[in-house]
Structure 1
Amino acid sequence: MFDPLEYADEKLDSQQENELLKWVRQLDDEQKFTFVWRVLNANDWQGCKLVKRSQLKPIFLEVILEKGLVYGDASSVEWWIKAVLPGLGHRRVLEIIKSHIDIAPLCVYKSLYWLPWLYRNQPKKLQNDILAIIREFKNKYPNYQPLRSIGTHV
């Protein structure tokens, strides 16, 4: 059995990392999510690395992305997006980010810098969807200057 708080603070070698992943993947879905969530709460970076490799169900990945959009700052929000992209897919991640334009503009604002880079090798349709989100955001918030780096609102 692994302790999520110890994992969050330790640097594991590749063999230990593989043992941890093997153990996490054999847990039921709720236990797996609980373990990953506790790691995320203790260490964003370690948690995001674990999210990518732990085979969580999409519903859990959506919860993790929501947390990252709110609590990640302008630089770490990239980790959160990259962590869930393989499991949710590029289209779903964009849908979730876009859904925040009216209710949590800071979440979208932090993401806008990273989206073109994260989607650079994706089909033109997805790249056009990003441009549409950027345009919509700029039209709704032409002079947006957030006063803080985490949270949801201006």
Structure 2
Amino acid sequence: MSVYDFTVTEIGGGEVSLSKYKGKPLVIVNTASKCGLAPQFEGLEELYEKYKEQGLTVLGFPSNQFMNQEPLSNEEIESHCQLTYNVSFPLHEKIKVNGDDASPLYKYLVEQTGNKAIKWNFTKFLIGKDGEIVERFGSMTKPEKLEDSIVKVLND
């Protein structure tokens, strides 16, 4: 099993199989537009813009599980992220990342990284070209700190 076995819902409502990203590295991140870490959207967008031609995709998954820091609707999230942070990477519908109601993708990501619950917004998972988790980064890890790991994955 890998992340490619999951189907997720885009922020606009359409379903997409993550298998469409086979052979390409991913950064999967839970987001919240009203979080103090929301400026990380800018760094994530910079990584996406810099490496998308080499195959990298950033996938954002808004979640309201941490101090209600994502109170917006899916439509409002999309608009806010585009207007405030110029986000062009794919965003998905608001989900839960912890607990019994967590999305299947996040249950898998947590399980595969030692069953450590997501502690806060902007936890990042680097996924290799094979769909396997390469590394998990905490919320406080700024997106630019992922760059060396991303370059390594792109060159593998």
More strand by share: 2
TM over 0.5: no
Q: Which has the higher contact order (CA 8 A, sep 6+)?
A: 2
- Please indicate the TM-score interval, normalised by the length of the shorter structure: under 0.3
The structure having more radius of gyration, on CA atoms, is 1
- TM-score in terms of structure 2 length: 0.25
TM-score normalised according to structure 1 size: 0.26
